[in-house]
Structure 1
Amino acid sequence: MQRSIIFLGCIFSFIIARNSVDVTQWKGFNLLEKFGKSNKPFLEEDFQLIKELGFNFVRLPIDYRSYVNGDDWYNFNEASLNEIDQAVEWGKKYGIHICINLHRGPGFCINPPAEKLNLWSDDDALQAFCDHWRMFAKRYKGIAPENLTFNLLNEPARARPEQYIKVFSAAIEVIHAIDNKRLIIVDGMDVGKTPYTNFTGLDFVIQSTRGYQPGAISHYRASWVKGSDKMPVPVWPPVPSIPAYFYGPQKVKDGLMGPLELKGNFAAGTVIIYDVNIVSEKSLIIIKADGLEFYRKDFIPKDGKGEWTEVVYMKQYHRFQNVYNKAFSAVLKAAASTLLIENIDGDWMTINSLKLEMPNGVRSEFVTDKTWGQKQITVTIKPDGSLDDIPGFIPEKILDDYIAPWLAIKAQGVNIFVGEWGSYNKTPHDVSLAWMRSWLRRYKENEIGWCLWNFRGPFGILDSERTDVQYEDWHGHKLDRKMLEMLRE
């Protein structure tokens, strides 16, 4: 059968009635029965309990492989699709808005394994992606917009802006050609970080971001995150930190190269320990004491065995970006009042942490901020080993910076939503709650709906298996009452 795609060229030229659904009131959870390798029926109990607790939104992150037979993108499994139908019906029964999301779509998933074709560059993958959404649009055409939303693709990444626009424009047009009032959610570019300006004129298109910033809190010791086992125990509100990136000469043109300057009273014998995370292409770290170099170390990632723990070759950049996750150290030979640490060769490298061990027993350990684009800074270390106040340091600025572009498009009339957020169960509970409350305050102040990942499980309010929570027995589950009450504030 011949299939065709009509790309979105004139969709801005026709008028769609204004969206009457108040997305600012959506508050709920992701249900993971068809996420990843899982392919189970959804549970009516979840919808019943979510309703009982006062929430009104459920997102279904679905792996397309759960509803196709084998590797055939067009051989749909009707039994599995019926289980999705059932979830939609339970949503209607319990007054819960359902969002169907392709967490893995033909040609792309943020998680491994990679797809056989690339959604951003292969027409066959794009065709299949649109045909899957055509199938869902036809299947649910009779479901009111108040009950059902389509979320095109989870956390798109590894593409250029024009590729995102091409793919999502095509899918939007396919859906709206069948059901022109169907609400469609488009996750932001770059793993949900960056909103689009191209879709601001569409009344039935919502843009979705994430609430995982900073990852050192949301994904502390999450096994699937590289380097998470090296993360320091998180705190919130943040304490002053140092930038993780040491940019080399290749970033001079971007104005990013520069040394980390440490000021204080550093005795001879002070040990400087820096835990290297990733090295891009190559780096050469030097350390100076009062202007005199006393340490240098080359880092040249390549294929095969070496100081690194994992070989990573980035095809799009034509260079190795190997993961080290290994500590290196230098010993100060003479007392000094200023230490400079600088990368003087290559592209860039990141560190997980920086430690100082003084001969008098004072120890300092500084967390790092892995936000791209932050230049190194000058900091003063107090006699007790702690960082002095950093001029301009705003504890929760990382949240404000992340949400700022989303508030900008909201001011233009775009509906925005947080499709996933929350913290993994290894993050200390008090830290999780304090951090979540900071995000919730921003969501409430700016009238932004949200969906926690997940309901039951390590990010959720039920059966999260935290070791530092006194759970309440509730309907056969372990309820995190403190987190629940905070979400309902």
Structure 2
Amino acid sequence: MDIRMQRRTFIKNTGILAGMSLSIPDTFGMPDVKVKNKLPKWKGFNLLDFFSPDPSSARKKTDEDQIKWMSDWGFDFIRLPMAYPAYIQFDRSRNITPQEVYQIDEKAVERIENLVSIAHKYKMHVSLNLHRAPGYCVNAGFNEPYILWRDQEALDAFCFHWNMWAKKYKNSSTDLISFDLLNEPSLREDMNDQLSKRSSVPGAVYRKVALAAFEAIRKENPKHLVIADGNDVGSSVIPEITDLDIGQSCRGYHPGIISHYKAPWANKDPENLPLPKWPGQVGNQYLGREMLEKYYKPWIDLVNKGVGVHCGECGCWNKTPHAVFLAWFEDVLDILSSNGIGFSLWEFAGDFGVLDSRRTDVAYEDFHGHKLDRKLLNLLLKY
């Protein structure tokens, strides 16, 4: 057993002393864990069944066998990023109108509920997330009728959708359902340009939006967990809401040269990037564990202040050399796990996933008709 495993085991074994101040020597430069994370240390996957705003272009649906495999392997968490246009009725031959945002398609909602029901059958916690909300999405590909950060009409619709989902699950166990308000908030100069320059949402504006949605949920669900994704596309702590009963969700994609190597949606010149290494010198920067410790310190400090933290998305696109990906990802998971922070891989099956990731440098294992990345699975199970 290496020294990092010893340190994790010590933290796990002393975690029963919740409420007491722990003082754990820090071999690797991370802050002591003095407060138990208010959010459970879930670990699992994002499922992208309702990720696309156009149901006709959605990927193959997750089946019950896949959820059973997750459960059998010991995972307990599913994040369900949803595009609201996937479950409303409107004329898709033109841009949506503000009035049509309220036209719920109950059959589409039922399909979402069916997937959640299967997950609950296997005791998996499901975190519902609006990946595309009225007036905002980190992705291009759909024309919004207004801007969430600016227009009251958009905020009213945002709250309407969250009130609807809260009402659907008002009688569900708090152990099985939670609400992740909005995927990766930011300000974008051009909502239709995938590589548009992004900036922080002003703290007061973020608080206004989060608080309004929180109150819309609380009208139906006084106890269910509510989570807000970090500012700056999920990367930054939101100090303006730490007094609210809202957890915060970080990301496991730093640095992008590792996690999104050659990804065309994340790089202006994806074919002319330096080959990633971990650890090692890449371009004009040295990539190693120290940069991750610095990156996650504000999130660990947030845990120590009594705010719940979970890593809602993490992982690596399939163009990064597999050995580099695993070396980097082990450091990410070790830092998160050592501080009581759970994680959710983007995704289960697909280019980032443990199944069918289409990497060219992996010795896949045949698994019930799928290609399983056993090394990645074993790494996830280690934490």
- For this structure pair, what is the TM-score category when the shorter chain's length is used for normalisation? 0.7 to 0.9
Matching residue of 2:272: 230
Q: Does 1:57 pair with 2:100?
A: no
SS in 2 for 1:459: coil
Q: Secondary structure at the match of 1:61?
A: strand
| Alignment partner, residue 123 of structure 2 | 95
**1:234 CA drift (Å):** 0.5
Contact 1:110 1:157 in 2 (8 A): yes
Which amino acid is 1:228 matched to?
A: P
Q: Could you tell me how far apart the structure 2 residues matched to 1:25 and 1:192 are?
A: 18
Q: Which moved more, 1:128-137 or 1:39-48?
A: 39-48
Question: Quick check: 1:26–1:450 contact (8 Å CA) kept in 2?
Answer: yes
Of all paired residues, the percent bearing the same amino acid is 43
1:464 and 2:357 aligned: yes
Q: Give me the whole-angstrom Cα distance separating, in 2, the residues matched to 1:488 and 1:142.
A: 32
Distance 2:71 2:287 in 1: 38
Letter in 1 for 2:49: E
Equivalent residue in structure 1 for 2:139, among 87, 106, 111: 111
Aligned length: 321
Asked if 1:31 is matched to 2:47, the reply is yes
Q: 1:137 pairs with 158, 166, 178, which one?
A: 166
Is the CA contact 1:208–1:418 (under 8 Å) kept in the aligned structure 2? yes
User: For structure 1, which segment, 193-202 or 172-181, has the greater mean C-alpha deviation from structure 2 after superposition?
Assistant: 193-202
Say if 2:254 is the partner of 1:213: yes
Alpha-carbon distance, 1:394 to partner = 8.0
**1-side partners of 2:287 and 2:365: how far apart?**
36
Alpha-carbon shift at residue 368 of structure 1 (Å): 3.2
Q: TM-score, with normalisation over the residues of structure 1?
A: 0.63
Residue 232 (structure 2) aligns with: 190
Q: TM-score, normalised by structure 2?
A: 0.80
Query: Aligned-pair distance for 1:202?
Result: 3.6
Aligned to 1:68: 88
The correspondence of residues 298-317 of structure 1 with structure 2, limited to 5 A, is none
Counterpart in the other structure of 2:381: 488
Which residue in the other structure is 1:84 paired with?
112
Aligned counterpart, 1:174: 216
| Larger helix proportion of the pair | 2
- Give distance in 1, aligned partners of 2:147 and 2:45: 30
Q: Secondary structure, in 3 states, of the residue corresponding to 2:262?
A: coil
> In the TM superposition, what is the alpha-carbon distance from 1:227 to its structure 2 partner?
2.6
- 3-state SS of the aligned residue for 1:469? coil
Greater CA drift, 74-83 or 45-54:
45-54
C-alpha change, 1:434 and 1:394, in structure 2 (3 Å) is: closer
Return the letter of the residue paired with 1:54. G
Aligned residues of 1:34 and 1:61 also touching (Cα < 8 A): yes
Superposed CA deviations along residues 133-171 of structure 1, whole A, max 9, x for unmatched, are 011111111111100011110000013221111111100
CA deviations over 1:202-230 (Å, ceiling 9, x no partner): 44x21001010000010001121223222
Query: Aligned partners of 1:161, 1:442: CA distance in 2, in Å?
Result: 27
Post-superposition Cα deviations, 1:365-406, rounded to whole Å, max 9, x if no partner, equal xx134xxxxxxxxxxxxxxxxxxxxxxx78322211211111
SS of the residue 1:488 aligns to:
helix
Question: What is the RMSD of the two structures over their aligned residues, measured on CA atoms?
Answer: 1.9
Q: Which whole-Å CA distance do the structure 1 matches of 2:71 and 2:127 have between them?
A: 16
Higher fraction of strand: 1
Partners of 1:138 and 1:38 lie apart in 2 by 25
1:90 and 1:237 map into 2 onto residues whose CA distance is 41
Q: Gaps (5+ residues) in structure 1?
A: 1-19, 242-366, 370-392
